[in-house]
Amino acid sequence: VGMPQEVSMREVYGKTLVELGKENPDIVVLDADLCRSTMTQLFAREFPGCFFDCGIAEQNMVGIAAGLAASGKIPFASTFAVFAPGRCFDQIRMSIAQPGLNVKLVTTHGGITVGEDGTSHHAIEDLALIGSLPGFTVIVPADAIETAQAVRVAAGSYGPFYIRLCRPKTPLVYNEDYRFNLGKAVTMRQGKDATIIAIGLMVAEALKAAANLKQEGIDCRVLNM
């Protein structure tokens, strides 16, 4: 309600960080020289003393975030999905996952949504890597509305989180009445013939596919996992 049909998840992420910063002085944000792309620059403008640009040094960013978490802060650390966990897997494993520290990794530009940037920037292994680590809660929001709520849930829940966002604006699949429930699949469409299970921006695509299948007489359920 009151929002355009397509909304940027990463922009909503940046705005939600600003809201959280106003509510909780323990919120700190780190980035690896990509704040204009991850939209953490919105937080940096409002809270320059609580923002740390670690440069092109993702391993150091993870270590600093772990130290801040061990000191009682709630750090959100962001970069592109291809760089975390890709470039700093060992640091995430040793400094966040194994000690179970309260670090929130929020990455943008996930999957192949950065097509024109080439295969070096296509994050297709990140979920497999982060899913192999103990203790991480992994969330891939379906739209901007779910993104805002997932970020808030992460801020209010102790332990390591990995939230994966994409670059382009994406269709809204929820309205403002939606309430995110951690660990529960959401039935987006009922159906008796087949089920499509999707995450992230593929939820909107799954709903389109189900509508097309309906024209062929196939009643397809869609779940947002």
Distance CA 210, CA 216 (A): 10
Cα–Cα distance measured from residue 203 to residue 213, given in angstroms and rounded to the nearest whole number: 15
Would you call 6 helix, strand, or coil by DSSP? Answer: strand
Q: What are residue 220's phi and psi, to 5 degrees? A: -115, 125
Q: Which one, of 87, 86, 79, 84, lies nearest residue 34 by Cα?
A: 79
Question: How many whole angstroms from its chain centre is CA 43?
Answer: 16
Residue 82 near residue 126, CB atoms below 8 Å: yes
Structure tokens at 185: 């699949």
Cα angle: 142, vertex 152, 102; to 5 degrees: 110
Burial 110-144 (b: 16+ CB within 10 A, else e): bbebbeeeeeebbbeebbebbeebeebbbbbbbbb
Which residues are catalytically annotated?
Answer: 58
Q: How far is CA 34 from the centre of its chain?
A: 15
Place of tokens 């209010």: 156
